[in-house]
């Protein structure tokens, strides 16, 4: 049975965009406007079918193409327009966007060494620090929760955004490598019970990929893997 609208909280169904060619090549995407690949479109189609059983009042997406393309099937299933927000974009990685880890190591070795420290105030050259990114995401999520209080929203965004949500909900430091699973087109449900406290996030469901069963294994970007090689 679909869950009814809430009158004492805002619920967010958080979705990471579907797979892109750059995901499969483990390239830093950031703000680069990369489209979904064929697998990503199939993930988005299945996600739309999964969301058809939900009762939601709005769909909000990052304004980047891969997020909007992921939101499109859900928009059809729920008969809701997609509203875009630049505030929901991925972390900005500056001059290394589009590069693989090995390319960054070769072309920007000092930046790579510093990145492996995973400090909240470090940024790739011309990029955004984890602290700046976190501030942007908490503000964006908080604004959505306050503007649509008591409703259920589908929010299509990026892996780094979900990492910031996870760390906030679990009270984790912004420093250190990513700790949570964040699959492409995975289903995540969180709740914010107080519009004045947008960082008080309750995780209801996380990284559910049952709707993606039998699709090819996803490319896994594990920050901890780089630490083992350094």
pLDDT digits 0-9 by tens, 55-85: 999 999 999 999 999 999 999 999 999 999 9
Is 20 a known ligand-binding residue? yes
Catalytic hit among 31, 42, 58, 90: 90
pLDDT for the residue numbered 229: 56
pLDDT for the residue numbered 121: 97
Report the CATH number at residue 78: 3.40.50.1240
Say if 4 falls within a structural domain.
no
**Nearest-CA neighbor of 185 among 33, 73, 27?**
73
Count the domains in the chain: 1
Q: Using CA atoms, how far apart are residues 167 and 184, in angstroms rounded to an integer?
A: 18
Give the model's confidence band at 225: pLDDT under 50 very low, under 70 low, under 90 confident, else very high: low
Say if 197 falls within a structural domain.
no
Q: Is 189 helix (H, G, I), strand (E, B) or coil?
A: strand
How does strand 10-16 pair with strand 187-192? antiparallel
Is 16 a known ligand-binding residue? yes
Edge-to-edge strand ranges of the sheet holding 152-157: 82-85, 58-62, 152-157, 10-16, 187-192, 201-208
Say if 91 falls within a structural domain.
yes
Could you confirm whether 90 is annotated as catalytic?
yes
Q: What is the mean pLDDT of residues 4-21?
A: 87
Q: Using CA atoms, how far apart are residues 188 and 21, in angstroms rounded to an integer?
A: 23
Tokens representing 97?
A: 């966007």
Tokens representing 71?
A: 């939101």
Is 184 a known ligand-binding residue? no
Could you confirm whether 17 is annotated as catalytic?
yes
pLDDT for the residue numbered 199: 87
Share of the chain above pLDDT 90, in %: 88
Q: 159-170 and 130-147 are packed helices; what angle lies between their axes, rounded to 10 degrees? A: 80
pLDDT digits 0-9 by tens, 113-143: 999 999 999 999 999 999 999 999 999 999 9
Say if 195 falls within a structural domain.
no
Domain around 23: 10-187+204-213+221-229
């Amino acid at each position: 049975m679909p869950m009814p609208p809430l009158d004492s909280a805002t619920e967010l169904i958080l979705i990471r965009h579907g797979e892109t060619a750059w995901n499969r090549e483990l390239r830093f995407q950031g703000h680069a406007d990369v489209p979904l690949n064929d697998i990503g479109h199939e993930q988005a189609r299945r996600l739309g079918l999964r969301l058809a059983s939900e009762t939601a009042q709005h769909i909000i997406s990052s304004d980047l193409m891969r997020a909007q393309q992921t939101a499109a099937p859900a928009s059809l299933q729920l008969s809701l327009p997609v509203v875009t927000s630049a505030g929901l974009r991925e972390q900005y990685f500056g001059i290394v966007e589009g590069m693989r880890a090995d390319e960054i190591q070769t072309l920007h070795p000092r930046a790579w060494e510093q990145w492996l420290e995973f400090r909240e105030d470090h940024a790739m050259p011309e990029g955004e620090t984890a602290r700046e990114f976190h501030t942007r995401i908490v503000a964006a999520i908080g604004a959505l929760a306050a503007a649509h209080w008591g409703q259920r929203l589908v929010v299509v965004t990026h892996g780094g955004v979900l990492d910031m949500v996870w760390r906030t909900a679990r009270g984790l430091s912004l420093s250190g490598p990513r700790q949570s699973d964040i699959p492409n087109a995975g289903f995540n449900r969180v709740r914010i019970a107080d519009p004045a406290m947008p960082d008080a996030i309750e995780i209801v469901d996380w990284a559910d990929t049952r709707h993606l069963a039998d699709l090819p294994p996803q490319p896994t970007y594990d920050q901890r893997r780089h630490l083992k090689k350094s």
